[in-house]
Amino acid sequence: MARTSLAERQARLDQQRARLQREEAKIREEARKARTRRLIEAGGLVDKAGLGELEANALYGALLEVAGRLGDPAERARWEAAGGRAFDRETRAREAETEPLILALAGAQPALVTARLRGLGFRWSKVLRHWEGLAIYDDARQAADELGGTLTRVGPVAEGDAGGRGAPDGAAEAGSASAPVSPSIPIETSGTERPGDAMTPDGTRPAAAPTAPDAAE
């Protein structure tokens, strides 16, 4: 067996070093994107809490005051409970107004845009190459117009619904209305009537033939 030359060994080491550098660069890029998403999320929460209009000094001072109480477990538990209740209320209110939508955008979008779309309720479909999800139509329509995208409704929309939301109850009523029920005609029956009985043209019922037990009697 031929012995591996020094040059070949050096070439393999260079390839391994280059592969490790690419992996390290990929990990650093993923960490940078995760930090950017986290900062955008934190900024959105600050604005949602009504603090976005504060001046920089006031906002920073308020955050420093909160940070000074991070070491109190009871205080953090109270914050978590209050935030959880607020998120639950917002989720229930949002679910009542959302509908399935598809948003098609040309090209890759920057982090600020993708964070906004995720905040609206969209997620990126790697297979279909578009944004999809449950979102409020008016908010999604505004985003689509600003970004130059195409917005498509997926689910049924109730007629006359200004918000464009589907209404399962209304759909059920429409389905029942499309199948009219024939008016029922009351027929006087007796306890001895059998399914095979029929009426004569003059409205009388023919005499029933005696059954075997009656004949025996």
Task: Kindly report, residue by residue over 48-67, the tens digit of the pLDDT.
Answer: 899 989 999 999 999 999 99
State how beta strands 122-125 and 150-153 pair: unpaired
pLDDT value for 161: 47
**Mean pLDDT of the region 183-201:** 42
Q: Mean pLDDT check: name the lowest of 42-46, 141-145, 207-211.
A: 207-211
| C-alpha–C-alpha distance, residues 132 and 195, integer Å | 57
What are the residues whose beta carbons fall under 8 Å from the beta carbon of 200, sequence distance 6 or more?
206
Query: What are the sequence ranges of the domains in the chain?
Result: 98-176
* DSSP-assigned letter for residue 107: S
Whether 203 has a pLDDT exceeding 70, the answer reads no
The average pLDDT across 166-183 equals: 37
Per the CB < 8 A criterion, the answer to whether 115 and 37 are in contact is yes
User: 130 — phi, psi (to 5°)?
Assistant: -150, 170
DSSP state of 187: -
Mean pLDDT (whole number) for 208-217: 45
CB 124 within 8 Å of CB 114: yes
Beta strands, E only, the chain: 98-104, 122-125, 130-136, 150-153
pTM above 0.75, yes or no: no
HSE-up (13 A, CA, CB side) for residue 135: 26
Q: Does domain 98-176 have CATH number 2.60.120?
A: no
Highest mean pLDDT among 22-31, 152-161, 201-210: 22-31
